[in-house]
């Protein structure tokens, strides 16, 4: 069956993946595998742009992300899963694209100043952080990806890749396609404190959590601050727990829960318990698969090794074209 195109996407290994990642990206990626030729990278070099002081944690984080991916339905028979640094061609293409990318383009990147604010050693941003969009472009065009799954807020980043492709083409010819966006509806999953679920907020329900840990976290989740005791009228639209009902409960039951909350007939404890069971019904198979994979890490590393070999095969072909176009092929 002919594919619609080729996809490149990935995660930075900065910590455990949580259900916000699952609902926001992993479910979408898994659904795209039949229609697209997919390359998914664990972007360890990207993690170093701000997390260089945590480099020692990378091996464990890479392993955990790979387990999360496989448990969530990314299939090595249908997709290529690999670690970015296992394909050194990415670094070479990053260097060469950087030769034609104006610094002013990088300084206007929407997240550059935000990322600077995360640095804590007082030395200021490094060259790697400034060049982050060029490395991202290299990741995408290395595999001649035709589409990239993004949310609307990420479109400026993809447009910068397209600009770099056009500038390279002006000097060296038409090697890379300009990747288009697959706009995705990324679910905003609330954490246990009501804010957006995030590793940095320490409010996440992780895919690696045990069932007991999930139940404990759900019991502690914030609810409507105006609903103090049983019988108080609730406001479901303000309650993080109600978001979980909308995500995981039957639509007809969601309407009933809304009415019961607003009338005061449904207490917050019972509401949390019901939402927890629906969450576990939906994600229980993922969590169970994750436990099995965690006990078979040899298989996980085999997948990553095979993926790197496949990725390097494609990357080698791309770099041969790039070197020839830039008159860097000394053997010809």
Q: Are residues 172 and 223 in the same domain?
A: no
- Nearby residues of 117 by Cβ (< 8 Å), 6 or more positions away: none
CA distance 86 to 47: 14
Domain CATH for 214: 1.10.240.10
Q: What is the mean pLDDT of the chain?
A: 93
With CA atoms as reference, report the closest residue to 100 among 31, 178, 160, 46: 160
Q: Which residue has the tokens 């990806």?
A: 145
pLDDT average, residue stretch 71-89: 98
Q: Are residues 25 and 167 in the same domain?
A: yes
Helix (H, G, I), strand (E, B), or coil: what is residue 186?
Answer: coil
What are 260's two structure tokens? 């019961």
What are 24's two structure tokens? 């926001």
Question: Looking at the 3D structure of the chain, how many domains does it have?
Answer: 2
| Residues β-bridged to residue 181 | 148
Domain-located, residue 200: no
Domain-located, residue 197: no
Domain-located, residue 180: yes
CA distance 208 to 253: 28
Domain-located, residue 25: yes
- Nearby residues of 282 by Cβ (< 8 Å), 6 or more positions away: 247, 248
Domain-located, residue 330: no
| Residues β-bridged to residue 40 | 9, 81
pLDDT of 153 > 60? The answer is yes
State pLDDT tens for residues 17-44.
Answer: 999 999 999 999 999 999 999 999 999 9
Q: What is the arrangement of strands in the sheet containing 37-42, beginning at the earlier edge strand?
A: 79-83, 37-42, 6-11, 147-150, 180-183
State pLDDT tens for residues 234-283.
Answer: 999 999 999 999 999 999 999 999 999 999 999 999 999 999 999 999 99
Q: Are residues 58 and 157 in the same domain?
A: yes
Length of the chain: 332
Q: Are residues 181 and 218 in the same domain?
A: no
Domain-located, residue 202: no
Domain CATH for 58: 3.40.50.620
Q: Which residue has the tokens 């759900």?
A: 218
The separation between CA 249 and the C-alpha centre of its own chain, rounded to angstroms, equals 25
Q: Are residues 141 and 28 in the same domain?
A: yes
Quote the domain boundaries for residue 254: 209-291
Query: Global pTM?
Result: 0.93
Q: Are residues 235 and 304 in the same domain?
A: no
What are 36's two structure tokens? 């697209």
The separation between CA 32 and the C-alpha centre of its own chain, rounded to angstroms, equals 14
Q: Are residues 108 and 173 in the same domain?
A: yes
Q: Which residue has the tokens 């993690």?
A: 47
Domain-located, residue 199: no
Q: Are residues 306 and 282 in the same domain?
A: no
Q: Are residues 14 and 144 in the same domain?
A: yes
pLDDT attached to residue 183: 84
Q: Are residues 261 and 117 in the same domain?
A: no
Radius of gyration, CA atoms only, the chain: 22
Pinpoint the alpha helices (H) of the chain. Answer: 19-21, 27-32, 44-51, 58-71, 89-98, 103-107, 112-116, 127-130, 132-142, 155-172, 211-219, 240-248, 251-263, 268-294, 297-325
Q: Are residues 113 and 221 in the same domain?
A: no
Q: Give the pLDDT band of residue 186 (cuts 50, 70, 90).
A: low
How far is the first Cα of the chain from the last one, in angstroms, to the nearest whole number?
37
Between 2 and 212, the higher pLDDT residue:
212
Helix (H, G, I), strand (E, B), or coil: what is residue 136?
Answer: helix
CA distance 191 to 197: 4
Domain-located, residue 283: yes
pLDDT attached to residue 116: 75
Rounded to 5°, angle at Cα 74 from 50 and 247:
85
Q: Using CB atoms within 10 A of its CB, is residue 326 exposed (0-12), middle (13-18) or buried (19+)?
A: middle
What are 312's two structure tokens? 């390097």
Q: Are residues 176 and 73 in the same domain?
A: yes
Q: Where on the phi/psi map is residue 73: left (φ > 0), alpha (ψ -120 to 50), or beta?
A: left
State pLDDT tens for residues 112-142.
Answer: 777 777 666 666 788 999 999 999 999 999 9
């Amino acid at each position: 069956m002919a594919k619609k195109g080729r996809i490149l996407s990935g995660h930075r290994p900065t910590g455990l993946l949580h259900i916000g990642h699952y609902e926001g990206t992993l479910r979408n990626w898994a659904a795209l595998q039949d229609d697209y030729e997919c390359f998914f990278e664990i972007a360890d070099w990207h993690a170093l742009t701000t997390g260089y002081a945590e480099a020692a944690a990378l091996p464990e984080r890479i392993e955990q992300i790979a387990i999360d991916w496989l448990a969530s339905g990314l299939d090595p028979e249908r997709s290529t899963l690999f670690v970015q640094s296992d394909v050194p061609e990415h670094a070479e293409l990053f260097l060469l694209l950087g030769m034609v990318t104006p610094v002013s383009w990088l300084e206007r990147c929407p997240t550059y100043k935000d990322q600077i604010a995360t640095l804590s050693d007082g030395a200021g941003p490094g060259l790697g952080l400034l060049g982050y969009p060029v490395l991202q472009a290299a990741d995408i065009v290395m595999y001649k990806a035709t589409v990239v799954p993004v949310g609307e807020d990420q479109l400026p980043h993809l447009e910068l890749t397209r600009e770099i492709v056009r500038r390279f083409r002006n000097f060296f010819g038409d090697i890379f396609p300009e990747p288009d966006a697959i706009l995705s509806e990324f679910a905003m999953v609330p954490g246990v404190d009501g804010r957006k679920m995030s590793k940095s907020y320490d409010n996440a329900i992780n895919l690696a959590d045990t069932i007991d840990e999930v139940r404990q976290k759900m019991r502690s989740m914030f609810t409507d601050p105006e609903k103090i005791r049983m019988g108080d009228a609730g406001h479901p639209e303000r309650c993080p727990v109600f978001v979980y009902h909308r995500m995981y409960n039957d639509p007809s039951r969601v309407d009933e829960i809304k009415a019961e909350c607003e009338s005061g007939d449904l207490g917050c404890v019972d509401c949390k318990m019901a939402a927890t069971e629906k969450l576990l019904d939906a994600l229980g198979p993922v969590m169970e698969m994750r436990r099995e994979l965690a006990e078979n890490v040899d298989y996980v590393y085999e997948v990553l090794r095979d993926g790197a070999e496949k990725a390097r095969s494609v990357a080698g072909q791309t770099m041969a074209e790039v070197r020839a176009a830039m008159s860097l092929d000394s053997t010809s």
